[in-house]
Amino acid sequence: MTLELEEIFGQESALDATDRVQSAGTALEELLVSAKKQDYLTVGVYESAKIMNVDPDNVAFCVLATDEEYECDIALQIHFTLIQAFCFDNDINVVRVNDIERLAELVGTEEAGEPKDAHCILVTSPGAESWKDPALDKLHLFCEESRSVYDWVPTITLPER
């Protein structure tokens, strides 16, 4: 069995893409854990919209999450479209995650013990000082590479526990 050059490159690029997505998933998990420790997370669609409206310069990254249960929620999809447009206009990288339960685990619960609304999560960078995190740098690169192949809002899979 001989492989054509195109087949070899196709297999390599498919493996590279899988590695990129897995690496981005690990970086996203690291970023969320680190940002939560430093109180740099805003969790919830409405809370995120407020922050974006008041202080868009301090938003470093945006995560939109959904799952099968919410895919038909028209209001949520409209919010996502508006948030994405706002992020694009303000040069804020955006990714999607399809495991809202896992994301909710990472960002914690409300005081009442209820899971937070993890449909939209912002990583903020307070003040003029830009918060530097290696995971954030990896995710910015991942988003940049994704845009170069016209994937404007790439989907990331979080690592399993």
Query: Domain-by-domain residue ranges, the chain?
Result: 39-156
pLDDT tens, position by position, 30-62: 999 999 999 999 999 999 999 999 988 899 999
Q: What number of other Cβ atoms are within 10 A of residue 20's Cβ?
A: 17
pLDDT tens, position by position, 82-117: 999 999 999 999 999 988 888 988 988 666 556 678
* Tokens 């897995």 belong to residue: 22
**What string of DSSP letters covers 47-80?**
HHHHHHHH-GGGEEEEEEE--GGGTT-HHHHHHH
CATH class, 39-156 region: alpha beta
Q: pTM here?
A: 0.83
